[in-house]
């Protein structure tokens, strides 16, 4: 397994470990949270932050003051940051290099074999569902894990949520996770189709075609096409990514294809921190929900290309209010500035600059895949978003509802995704 893929799983596992009170997989949690903090602080170019900005970015990344101090020391020991009198200087990094450094930090912590085992197991069940007994036997043989340790390992990964458990019957229990569709998924979609009724197949084909065209679709439209039950069970196995943005008026969900956010390898690596998804969801929200005309940018594609070139966009009043979630995630910088118009007049107001170039490039790629890039806008989209929830949180919530309702909803599809059979 390469460093980037391992790093992506460290981030995934660390996010899961944040939600439970356990000392298991402590080196994974430490390295993963160091990677999360590094991503929160870093930009495409070397950057210096004052302590108040570091505190704000760390808080948004769900890192406490106590954790922050220790994690900054780890990052400095690995020569990724320099803590000085004027602030903290951070190397210019991409998502890929951040993941690689996360892996190196993990390896320097002298992790135990069960931690390595949890990562390899997750990688295997992201390719296809496995029978629990088979994959645990394989992993325990490979890492020489004794039966007592294996029993504890099984309990930990299931209770923490590092795996999804699907009970087919008394003899067959399957492991899978939410990354099944983040890589080449044509074959897997065909396998899912084979498990559905004719009516469900028709609905899924229709929706897939629309999602290919649009790139990002509001969840209410998806439910209208698929129906509640089919929407729920497809979401529970991770066939679509549900991105939820919210403000004082409530929450709005947007669906994207997991494989849309892959550039060099797969979307679980290329967009491991869900930043490109947050970017696209914010822009789509502005396009579909805003009735305000407060700027002069007419095309989403033109906006993103200008940002990727390093240009500052604006001045537009909406920028100062509507892209807070992207500012808190250190994807963009928002500040007051001036710019000469094509008419020669000097205009002043809020300006926006892209800080993470690779995130902008990935967002542009996803948008260009569908005709969202062809929609003319009167203004820079007015998003007014102050919170973003990524796909895995939403998938797990949907999965819990499925388990509460009936196991039959996902059994057939999970079995169809298995290769070979029992």
| pTM summary value | 0.84
- Residue-wise burial string across 392-421, b where 16 or more C-beta atoms lie within 10 A, e elsewhere: bbbbbebbeebbeeeeebbbebbbbbbeee
User: Residue 383 phi/psi, 5° resolution?
Assistant: -95, -40
Contact 307, 283 (CB under 8 A): no
| Cα gap 277→46, rounded to integer Å | 24
- Domain-by-domain residue ranges, the chain? 3-167, 239-391
Contact 410, 402 (CB under 8 A): yes
Contact 123, 9 (CB under 8 A): yes
Question: Going by C-beta distance under 8 Å and a sequence separation of 6 or more, which residues neighbour residue 351?
Answer: 312, 313, 314, 315, 319, 334, 335, 336, 337, 339
38-87 pLDDT, tens digit per residue, is: 999 999 999 999 999 999 999 999 999 999 999 999 999 999 999 998 89
| Cα gap 188→127, rounded to integer Å | 10
Tokens of 10: 């460290």
156-206 pLDDT, tens digit per residue, is: 999 999 999 988 877 788 999 988 887 656 778 888 888 899 999 999 999
The DSSP secondary-structure symbol of 376 reads B
- Comparing C-alpha atoms, which of 159, 177, 163 is closest to residue 22? 159
With residue 2 as reference, give the H or E element that holds it. Answer: none
| Cα gap 275→258, rounded to integer Å | 13
User: Residue 339 phi/psi, 5° resolution?
Assistant: -155, 140
Residue 241: per-residue pLDDT: 87
336-364 pLDDT, tens digit per residue, is: 988 877 777 888 888 999 999 999 998 88
Residue 195 C-alpha from the chain's centroid? 28
User: Residue 290 phi/psi, 5° resolution?
Assistant: -90, 135
């Amino acid at each position: 397994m390469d460093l980037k893929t391992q790093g992506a799983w460290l981030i995934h596992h660390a996010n899961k470990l944040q939600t439970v009170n356990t000392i298991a997989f402590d080196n994974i949690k430490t390295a993963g949270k160091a990677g999360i903090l590094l991503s929160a602080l870093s930009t495409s170019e070397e950057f210096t932050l004052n302590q108040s900005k570091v505190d704000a970015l760390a808080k948004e990344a769900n890192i406490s003051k106590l954790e922050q101090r220790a994690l900054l020391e780890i990052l400095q020991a690995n020569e990724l940051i320099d803590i000085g009198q004027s602030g903290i200087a951070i190397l210019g990094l991409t998502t890929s290099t951040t993941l690689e450094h996360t892996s190196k930090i993990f390896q320097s912590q002298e992790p135990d074999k069960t931690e390595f085992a949890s990562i390899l197991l997750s990688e295997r069940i992201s390719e296809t569902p496995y029978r629990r007994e088979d994959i645990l036997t394989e992993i325990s043989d490979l890492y020489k894990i004794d039966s007592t340790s294996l029993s504890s390992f099984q309990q930990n990964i299931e209770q923490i949520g590092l795996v999804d458990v699907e009970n087919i019957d008394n003899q067959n229990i399957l492991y899978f996770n939410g990354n099944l569709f983040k890589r080449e998924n044509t074959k897997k979609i065909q396998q899912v189709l084979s498990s559905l009724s004719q009516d469900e197949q028709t609905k899924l084909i229709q929706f897939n075609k629309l999602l290919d065209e649009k790139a990002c679709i509001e969840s209410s439209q998806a439910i209208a096409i698929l129906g509640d039950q089919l929407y729920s069970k497809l979401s529970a196995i991770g066939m679509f990514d549900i991105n939820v943005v919210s403000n004082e008026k409530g929450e709005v969900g947007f669906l994207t294809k997991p494989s849309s956010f892959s550039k060099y390898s797969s979307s679980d690596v290329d967009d491991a921190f869900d930043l490109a998804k947050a970017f696209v969801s914010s822009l789509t929200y502005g396009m579909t929900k805003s009735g305000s005309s407060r700027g002069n940018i007419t095309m989403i594609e033109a906006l993103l290309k200008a940002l990727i070139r390093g240009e500052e966009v604006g001045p537009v009043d909406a920028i100062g209010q509507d892209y807070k979630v992207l500012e808190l995630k250190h994807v963009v910088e928002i500040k007051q500035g001036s710019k000469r118009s094509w008419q020669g007049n000097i205009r002043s107001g809020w300006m926006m600059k892209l800080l993470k170039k690779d995130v902008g490039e990935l967002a542009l790629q996803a948008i260009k895949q569908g005709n969202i890039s062809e929609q003319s806008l009167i203004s820079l989209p007015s998003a007014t978003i102050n919170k973003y929830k990524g796909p895995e949180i939403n998938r797990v919530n949907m999965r819990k509802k499925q388990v509460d309702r009936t196991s039959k909803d996902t059994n057939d599809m999970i079995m169809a995704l298995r290769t070979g059979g029992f």
